[in-house]
Amino acid sequence: MTTEHLLMNTLHGKPTTRAPFWFMRQAGRYLPEYRQLRSQSNGFLNLCLNPKTASAITLQPIHRFNMDAAILFSDILIVPFGLGMEIDFVEGRGPVLDALKDSKSLSKLTQKNNWSRIQATYETVSKARESLRPDKALIGFAGAPWTVATYMIEGGTSRDHSKAKEWAYAQPNNFKTLIEILVESTIEHLSKQIDAGADVVMLFDSWAGALAPGQFDKWVISPTKEICRRVRNIHPKIKIIGFPRGAGAGYIKYSKETEIDAVGLDTSVSPIWAAAELEAPLVIQGNLDPVLLVAGGKGLQAATLKILDAFDRRPFIFNLGHGILPSTPPEHVAELSEFLGAYRKGG
């Protein structure tokens, strides 16, 4: 059994025998053991806030596939829940929130985050870290402010995020206040996860690509930089991964200005382009199309090798360009995990 801490060594710029790997949404609906626990729970949010169950789910893919890192089983909307918003996860629809509409509804969030409401999240981190092998990393996470704000304003998922963008343009002061609240809460949320045992933290900005360049700078880059700077003031050695999904050419500016240690690429990004344009020592993470993991076969292996070859000479973490799809056959995940575990750099 290896004792090489592949993911942490990669993030610290140390040489490794192979690229570490883990997969976004690696704990989830494609696994029968997850579905069994889900069927016994009283809703998704209760599942997230039950430390015994959530820690078990966090570890399920590690037990089955031996990835190099586990990621906390939780949700990016835990922070607005801690801020007092009520959230319901509806099957087939996703999260439903009582949407923010104006400064009056916004004022209800200005109280200090009710961390007792989500304290179970940090207990989950502790339980998961205690159960993980020392050479496996535990990744904590939060949603980035812009993405979380879209859910709070839209009242759930949205195709075009028009209400959130309208707020940003028409009510800039209110929108700025909301982002500031989320920055403060995200810093504390990540810090509490690190205190509880998270080795690495990740910021998911799933809807970063919805913004025009000037708005992207204002609502994605600036808040992310503030979070990174202040989390490191508290935890100087922590490594931070950013995922500005859909950022396109904005990946360059995001990577240079936010002070992240690693950047997750979405499926639209060419590995060859990223290897040339995103300068080391930045660690790159990504970016296999999750649909290929559903399809399997020769196409999966060919795409995997193409990504590995593109980043063979720099610090790299293999991942997907988005989360594992519920229809993914577990045997395809097993095959890919076995291949990645046996792959050696330069080989």
- In angstroms, rounded to a whole number, what is the distance separating the alpha carbons of residues 284 and 275? 8
Under a CB-based contact definition with an 8 Å cutoff, are residues 81 and 151 in contact?
no
Neighbouring residues of 64: CB distance < 8 A, sequence distance ≥ 6: 31, 33, 330, 333, 334
Annotation says 75 is catalytic: yes
Spatial separation of the C-alpha atoms in residues 213 and 100, rounded to whole Å = 25
Among 30, 34, 151, 251, the active-site one is 151
Asked about 35 being catalytic, the answer comes back as no
Cβ(307)–Cβ(319) under 8 Å?
A: no
Single out the catalytic residue among 29, 230, 232, 314. Answer: 29
Q: Which of 18, 30, 75, 254 is catalytic?
A: 75
Q: Is 151 a catalytic residue?
A: yes
Question: What is the DSSP secondary structure assignment for residue 21, as one 8-state letter?
Answer: B
Q: Which positions ≥6 away from 343 have C-beta within 8 Å? A: 18, 19, 308
Catalytic one among 38, 64, 230, 232? 38
- Other CB atoms within 10 Å distance of the CB of residue 227: 27
Q: Are 297 and 318 in contact (CB under 8 A)?
A: no
CA dihedral for 179, 185, 190, 191, sign (positive or negative) = positive
Active site residue 38: yes
Which residues are annotated as catalytic?
25, 29, 38, 75, 151
